[in-house]
Structures are given as structure tokens and as C-alpha cells.
Chain A
Amino acid sequence: GAVVSQHPSRVICKSGTSVKIECRSLDFQATTMFWYRQFPKQSLMLMATSNEGSKATYEQGVEKDKFLINHASLTLSTLTVTSAHPEDSSFYICSARIGDQPQHFGDGTRLSIL
């Protein structure tokens, strides 16, 4: 149980393109979903916390107009990287949880901006 699906797993696109990443909790309804960014050989950096039906809470230094988060249902959250540039290239990972239970992670999306 507690499966989180993230799609796509890999994206390569040109600079200036907007990219949407989907995160779904397949077998549970998530009260909260999280978006992380991970640089090579570094730990997870929390970007934002999102609750269904409300605006996401962004961590300090994360541009909310750059990284748009939509959490339309208890099983789906999306992250859109708008007008992506090479410095946005990274590994993006979502997670979901119920209440105060541990988070379960998706398999990540490797984003490469050329």
C-alpha cells in the first residue's frame, strides 16, 4: 500500500518551455502533498507543501510564480515549472501523506533544460 506515482520520469526540453509534473497517490487519499528538489549527492530540499483545495505554502527562496503548484484533489498534485531555464534542471520528487503519518515518495522526475 501507500503508492505514489509521479509522471513523467524524465523530461528534456528547450529553455523557455513550461513543464508540468504530476503526482498521484494511487491507493490512499493524501491530506498533504510535498514537492522537493534534489541536487546530485545532496539531500532533499523542500520546495512547497500543498493541501487539497488550498494554496501551496512555499519555502523561503522558492519562487511561487516560477513553480506553480495545483492540488485539485486528494489524490493529485501538479508542479509546473514555468519558462524553464538550464538552472532549473534538477531531480524533482513529490511525496504524499495522510495526517501525521510518514510521507511516501514518488520515483522522481529528472528535468533537463537545454
Chain B
Amino acid sequence: QKEVEQDPGPLSVPEGAIVSLNCTYSNSAFQYFMWYRQYSRKGPELLMYTYSSGNKEDGRFTAQVDKSSKYISLFIRDSQPSDSATYLCATSGGYQKVTFGTGTKLQVIP
């Protein structure tokens, strides 16, 4: 079993839709949770960063962590074509190395 599982997609949605991206993880020691966005032929860009359980909102993006079920989510409201990219979830125990999901490819259709 991989430490972090993520559906690779692709996920296609119409412009304006609410997007839900999800990951599950297996290591209960993970305390830090990140979402990165990666455009084609570019490096990942940090979108959201949360510590422990709970929600965090930044503009159209909301990150959610449920440590009891080892489930992390990223919601994108009012999705735009510019949101089309691969989204990577990532977790770590702090100073330890980061474990990445395989990424979900999102396409927002105008």
C-alpha cells in the first residue's frame, strides 16, 4: 500500500463548477499536509499548507484534513480554465521527507 493514495484522474469539469480533490494516507504520524499545483513542464507550486486536522481557506481554495479517517481534500470554488493543472497532495511528519501523491489531472472546460 502506498503511503499516500490519490486518484490520477483525469477530472473534467465545466467552468464555474466546484471541484473536489482527495487523498488518503496511511501514516498516522503525518502532521503537515500540503497541496501543490503543477502546470505542464513546470515545477509544483505550493497552494495550501495545513497543520493537523481542520479547514483552511484561501480565496477560492479550501483545504480540509480529517486525521481520524486519514483523508485530505482540496475544494476549488468557481473553477476557472486557468485552474487546469495537476494537483499533488503531500504529507510529512515535519522535518522528515515529504511524501507526495501521484497527482490528479484537472481540466476545467470553458
User: Residues of A at under 8 Å CB distance from B?
Assistant: 2, 4, 6, 34, 41-44, 46, 49, 91, 93, 95, 99-100, 102-108, 110
Contacts and interface: CB of A to CB of B under 8 A. Distances in A.
Instruction: Kindly state the interface size class of chain B when it binds its partner.
Output: 20 to 34
A110 B41 contact: yes
Interface stretch (B14-22, B61-69, B70-78, B95-103): B95-103
Given A44-B44, A108-B41, A99 B95 contact: yes
Given A6-B43, A105-B45, A43 B100 contact: yes
A100 B103 contact: no
Interface string B31-62: 01010100001111110010000000000000
Contacts of B36: 105
Nearest to B96: A100
A100 B95 CA distance: 5
B44 A100 contact: no
Nearest to B51: A100
B88 to A, nearest CB: 7
Contacts of B32: 100, 102
18 contacts: A2-B46, A6-B43, A43-B88, A43-B101, A44-B44, A44-B88, A46-B97, A93-B43, A93-B44, A95-B43, A100-B94, A102-B46, A102-B49, A105-B44, A105-B46, A106-B43, A107-B42, A107-B43
Nearest to A9: B41
Nearest to B101: A43
A83 to B, nearest CB: 26
A4 B102 CA distance: 22
A108 B42 contact: yes
A42 B102 contact: yes
Given A42-B102, A102-B98, A103-B98, 11 more contacts: A2-B46, A41-B8, A44-B44, A95-B43, A102-B32, A102-B34, A102-B46, A105-B36, A106-B43, A108-B42, A110-B41
